[in-house]
Structure 1
Amino acid sequence: MKKLSFLALPILLLLNCKSEGQELEGHIGRPDISPDGTKIVFIYARDASKDVWEIYSADIDGKNVRQLTTFPEARIKKGPVWSPDGQSILFHADIEDGAQIFIMGANGENLYQLTQLPGYNVEPIWSPTGGEIIFNSILEQGKAKMFIMDRDGSRIRELYNPEGENWYPRKLKGDKILFTSDFKQRDTHNVFSMNSDGSDIRQLTFLEGINWFPEISPNMDKIVFNSNKDDPELRDSGNYNLYIMNTDGSGMERITNLPGQELHAKWHPDGDKLVFEWHDPTSKGLYLLELSTGNIRKIRLIP
């Protein structure tokens, strides 16, 4: 594990602004909720095409926004996720000619690089106990494969990978893995489950288009994911909505129908709320959805 010398939906300039009540503006996305439900972590860049994307945290109501990383060597950082004990945050960042996985404390301290592998090593996620980390690795001109390692970056090993592109693995109870794949399909990604040795592969969704970023509920009885199945042209850059289903793929229903893209939903520990990223030409930011009522409200990020 390599310790770095770097110092650890709006820009630092805005965070230093003395006037309170000015809502952050810019590209805000990839949220996650702390295990106690009181905080969120997310990525931010005022101009996604020009600025360095850094990782920020805030209270769940959007107050007390704080920048956690100052890491200009990697222009893009994505996928911050809280550890089950709330003490650490994983993320991936572009570095040199690829991407690597990093870990830091919940306040941005003690930044370490966990992987030093060739290619792009991205989308880390914790196992339910926090003892292991699952992630994707892509060699140059290769396919996305699923890997697992111990919490400290040791014992890196490849999981079973069906033929095709296998994305966003999540470890469930016992030996079960949840992931998305184009396995036995063409121009389509659906949600699958399997045992980590590749046995008992089950396709959970049978939808057109791109259906990915599956996230299991705290009680491990529901899965939320985003899908572009409702986009007339099934465009990767087109319309995405959030769907929810039982863990066996039954009971599927659409839970958002907003213009633009609803993406990267994460569960609140109470199991009744989701925080997600929504953006279209007129609206960008993080939103909170209450499943029992269907109410959606914007999380106004205020320095």
Structure 2
Amino acid sequence: MSSTTTGRPAARKTTAGPAHRPVPARRRFQRRFARERLAVVAFAFLVLLVIVAIFGPWLQPYDPDQQNLSIAFSGPGGGHWLGTDQLGRDVLSRIISGTRVSLVAAAEATGVGVLIGVPIGIVCGYFSGWFDRTVMAANDAVMALPALILAIAVAGALGPGLTHSMLAIGIVFAPRLIRLVRASVLDIRHETFIEASATIGTPTLRILRKHVLPNVLSPLIVSTSLMMAWAMVAEAGLSFLGLGVQPPQASWGAMLGQGYQYTAQAPALIIYPGVAIMLSVLALNLLSDGIRDSLGRELRRK
């Protein structure tokens, strides 16, 4: 007999749909970042700069250090697309050569700051106590000093040169990273998963590496991109003052310092490196904003 005659309802047929697979966090970040158009353009511009820095020796139309006083202060033309400087050197070749110096300088300074600031910030935030109080007191005293003035003092004490100037800038970066990382660690130190790991006997070093450090990476990435922009400006300032790269090596800051003396005769000598610095710093700031917004949405959804 059918189910209708027996009074029992017919069994419903259910079809199981495809299992819902969560989208990985990396894929969600990539999708959100792709919608940040300005950040994508900035990222493409920075990739172009990296390509120019890597293949610069093959892209330079002339030797950037080759002098020819007979064509000094020549305008664009005659095989020199951006003209020549006070010593007859090709400006475009020196701009291309300076790209590598500026990018390497920014990476070196940021790397020094991260290597100093991140470990100290993690230790201060996780353990607290007298070490934290002592370090933060010294940290606040250093941060009270003007950053560029402190960088000039450290670079002057170490001596002129790109490596010394970038070490000085990295030392100036470190206190700011210490405070940032420490604040991030304090926010998660008492989370349940960290306390549970400590309760079951997980070594402290493993907790810091597996649980604490990954949760610090989001604000650290944003801050690092901003610091690279500041490092590029700082390198230009130190090279302008003669504490960065030394002649005849080309960098955008050194070109500004040398061209400043001939502003009346050839204002283009400071316009070209100035525009290069401005666009690079703007791209790094836009990239930082895009990363911050993309990571921010991820954090709000968790």
- The TM-score range, normalised by the shorter chain, is under 0.3
| TM-score scaled by length of structure 1 | 0.20
Task: Give 1 or 2: higher strand fraction.
Answer: 1
Structure 1 or 2, whichever has the larger Rg, is 2
Task: Give 1 or 2: higher helix fraction.
Answer: 2
Tell me: higher relative CO, structure 1 or 2? Use CA pairs within 8 A at least 6 residues apart: 2
